[in-house]
Structure 1
């Protein structure tokens, strides 16, 4: 378990140690691992107020436990990337856990879960300049397109600027698009092939160039038809924790056979598996690659 007292002491006494650790970090030679794919662990949920994992409503609220799970996952063979917000990534930098890993910073976390302004997904975390300064490999943004919410338009515009800013610096722009609707006051993503096709085609056209754009997409029925809509590289996201891990892994394996799918970005499904065996879950996912 990480020593929280030591992390806090460093933050109090030597906040510059974070930038120093970023400067010392050994950068990866490629976005792809030895298996030829990108296998990332996602940990940007807490900054949006989304702390649930499966049946545990506050699973991600214990930072020491989360960091322990992240360090365990990042240490497994075949895991070559991490997605997170500044607070999480900086803790991992201080712990020396990011050497040789593809590091992607989460950019817009302002659309807090369960709020009336959820679709107005402001860029409240990393920007392109900060990611370049830190020496990270890219930035990720969430784009939920709600046809009935006018806040979608400024979110799209902000995402387009972020894609352009990242591309100007030669950094990956990871866009996670959905068609979304409010149902009984809650934002719900439409997980159909038609909705994903529409969302991906909108996301692919954002910014002044698509040269550095990757898509982060969920599993949907008729995945082959949905993924036929783009030539951009795509990564499969894990979504909610499932009690049927075998079925989940089977769906990931099927998607990985598609030419545009270049890897996985999995968070809660691997960090909080039903049996709590993080290493076992991560190793099973890596085995799919």
Structure 2
């Protein structure tokens, strides 16, 4: 099988090349550019393409891929809301993903965001480098003894819940399918979790049902001085409503590894650009907000797991032995 990797950063290449000797039947080429209707034709002569969470795999892109004979899309990530699944099915293109690589990596980053924005580490780091040792603006909250609200208790949410429990927090959660193995969690309705939690952490996939689940109405239910963290999908949060909530002093802190406008920014160096009307720029203007680069997954262990599972998916497709949990449909 010949596979063309789109949007392959050097760390992608390094990680996949470590695994490639174990897959002699796979021939891999890497492109810096991401896939879109303008670049999809580059897949001519290949059997499969590999894409990432921000890749444009809409109807036009898929039509071109099908015309070039592509039968398999390998997503080297868990998310797939950027793929037109209905169109892929019509065209006979199989979409495989990596449903779980290192839930601990994402959960640890979520708690890193929560702790950093709570204790104003981002501000403190800059102040001390300028020999300013004042404590003004650095007041934090004790997480111990407070309530953590986990929205979604799959593998990542469960890992985050365990971290919060280890901090001595009371853990409440909302999930349509409660995890019975987490006996320290009290499951409640979404509205109750939002209104009772001091720390709210989002760990659910994006669906039509939960699009903008964090909005003006749900923000109004939250406690004053709440800490909100999102390491799942940016579209779970209505960014304009979030900004208004920040301006209204609703939040002690907000930590975002994902946000609605990230597609043009994620994994790219835009340090020379002026973001004139950018929602991102507005978020970054607030002293109690930390935005990171969709990096929650980015550990050595997670990258190794992503590489192995992605290449396993290709081999499983060749052998007609696809794992149901990895199939996107």
- Mark yes or no: TM-score above 0.5: no
Larger radius of gyration: 2
The TM-score bracket by the shorter chain reads: 0.3 to 0.5
TM (norm. structure 2) is 0.30
